[in-house]
Structure 1
C-alpha cells in the first residue's frame, strides 16, 4: 500500500469527529471524491444529500457513531447508511434499496471517532459483484487494516479528551 495521510474531514459535530484519508500524491481526499462524484449525478443528488445528512447530522451532531447506525459490517469496514429499520430516540432510520455505500471505520468501536473512506454505487446483491464499488471496498479495507495496525503499534495515539487522533510524536499530521 502506498503512503497516505489521515486527516480531519469534519470536527464540528457535537458527538463525532470524522477523519478521512488522502493519498500522498492526491489533491483531494477519498471522502470528498465520493461526495463530489455522486453529487454531480442528477439521479443520485437526493440520495447523496440524504447520506451527507445522515453522516453530518445524525452521526456527527445527534447520536454519534452508535452500534445501531453502524450495523452493515463488511469485513474491516462498515457500509453506510445503516441496514434495516432502526429506531433511535423515536427517529426512524430506514434506507431500503439505497443505491450508495460509503465505507467507514469506527476507531476502536468508539462513538466519537470515525474514518470515512470512499464508496460507490451498489449495483448488485454484493460488494464483490458491484463493479466499481468492489474496488473502493477493497481499498477501504486496506486503509482500515493499516490504521488499526498503526493504533496497535502506537504510531497513532487517541486523544480522548479532544476527540482527535495524533501521530506518536503528538503531531496532528498523520502519515501512514
Structure 2
C-alpha cells in the first residue's frame, strides 16, 4: 500500500511539473526607444491623461491581420502602450511639469502593425487635446502609416519607434503654437 501511494504521488507531481515546464516560453520585452534632439515648445505642460482603446491598454503587442486582431505570442511591451507613451514624453520633453496651466490629454486609437495580402505597415493614430486653465484651446489628430520592409518583429518595433518619433516631433511643434 505504501508503494502504491508513493507511486501515485510520484505520477501526480511528475505530470504537474511537465505541464508547468511545457507552458514556459521565451518572451522578448520591447520598449519605445526614441530620442528627440531639438524641441520647439518652451511652455510648461502637464500630462493630464494618456489613455488608449482597450486592445492597447496591455503589455501585449497588438497586430491586425486582414480584419482580425491578435497579439504576438513571444513578444511583449515593457508596460502598457499608454505607460510607454507617457515615459517617452517625459524623457524627451524637458518642459513637462507636474503642475502647469497647460494640460495635455492623449487618446491612442492605433499603435499596431497591419498585415494584409498586398500591404504591410505600422499605423499610429492619436488624438491630442490641450487645455489651459481647464478650457479646451486645441485639439488635433495625428496619424502615421509606415510601410514595413520585412515582416519581422524587429522591423515592426523599428517602424513603431519611428512612428512615435514622428509623433513626438509633431506634438512638440503643435504644442509650441499655443
TM-score grouping bracket, smaller chain normalisation: under 0.3
Larger Rg: 2
Tell me the TM-score normalized by structure 1: 0.27
* TM-score normalised to structure 2 length: 0.27
Structure with the largest fraction of strand? 2
